[in-house]
A and B are shown apart, each in its own frame.
Chain A
Amino acid sequence: MGVSPEELQAKVAVIAGRYLDRVSREIEQLKSMVDQAASGDLAIVKEIEALTHRMHGSGAMLHFDEISGPAGELERMSAEFASTGQVDQPRMIPVLQRLQAAIVKTCANRPAPPSTRP
């Protein structure tokens, strides 16, 4: 079944909105994981890597570069910690803060959904 370019654009806009809703929830989860990573728990670090991998990849695809950038930094940092076994959790904090600020800013600037008519 074929689709038109307009349908594709509309679908991408829906997916972008859904992405912002999801990362707004996931940032809270991520903050909690980063707190837990202070214990040096590598399982948590791998969960951080998986979560930020999704935020990074989908964010880049949807042109949310301000979110994708710091998410990618956290992803690479987590991968490095997981491979060396050394968790330098304080390094994550400023990147996490930048990621959170980017999510808040992007969500605040997103266009309002079209109003529905009765």
Chain B
Amino acid sequence: MNRDSLREVLYVDDEPDIREIVQMALALVPTLSVRTADSGIHALEAMRERKPDLVLLDVMMPNMDGPTTLQQMRATPELQSIPVIFMTAKAMPQEVARFRSLGAAAVIAKPFDPMLLGEHVFAVWEQL
């Protein structure tokens, strides 16, 4: 995909500190608009309200975790084509393979360098 076509990202994480860091980190890219959600349920609501180009999804969240949120997206016609990147501390090769098999476009390991996050996200986007 063309870099310029990535305009809006939805970041989903239950941890407010990390949401704030990611929002600022992605704001290093002036052309990118970032919304956040604090749970899988709120993320699905936000996506129905306005469809983002890309979703960055934390894996471990209470009530509805990342994989379940992705499953719900894939079962919803208007959301099923949105690419998803998982962000997780569980980034061992077998876990990455499992997340990819669930339909994730990529996995970004936590902790990540906030200065490089935007470039990392664009690199994944360009390979889609």
**What are the residues of chain A within 8 A of B24 when measuring CB–CB?**
3, 7-8, 11-12
In the complex, the chain A residue whose C-beta lies closest to that of B60 is A53
Tell me whether A60 and B111 are in contact (CB under 8 A): yes
Q: Total interface residues on B, using CB and 8 Å?
A: 20
User: Which of these binds chain A: B2-10, B27-35, B39-47, B74-82?
Assistant: B27-35
User: From DSSP, what is the main secondary structure of chain B's interface residues?
Assistant: loop
Tell me whether A61 and B110 are in contact (CB under 8 A): yes
Tell me whether B15 and A58 are in contact (CB under 8 A): yes
CA distance A5 to B24 in the complex (A): 9
- Size class of the contact patch on chain A: 20 to 34
Q: For window 106-128 of chain B, which residues contact chain A by CB distance below 8 Å?
A: 110-112, 114-115
CA distance A15 to B79 in the complex (A): 33
**What are the residues of chain B within 8 A of A57 when measuring CB–CB?**
15, 18, 60, 89, 110
Tell me whether B17 and A19 are in contact (CB under 8 A): yes
Tell me whether B62 and A11 are in contact (CB under 8 A): no
Closest Cβ of chain A to B34, distance in Å, is 10
Determine if A31 is an interface residue (Cβ-Cβ < 8 Å).
no
Determine if B20 is an interface residue (Cβ-Cβ < 8 Å).
yes
Q: For window 1-39 of chain A, which residues contact chain B by CB distance below 8 Å?
A: 1-5, 7-8, 11-12, 15, 18-19
Knowing A2-B30, A50-B62, A54-B15, say if A63 contacts B21 (CB, 8 Å): no
User: Residues on A close to B: CB < 8 A?
Assistant: 1-5, 7-8, 11-12, 15, 18-19, 50, 53-54, 56-58, 60-63
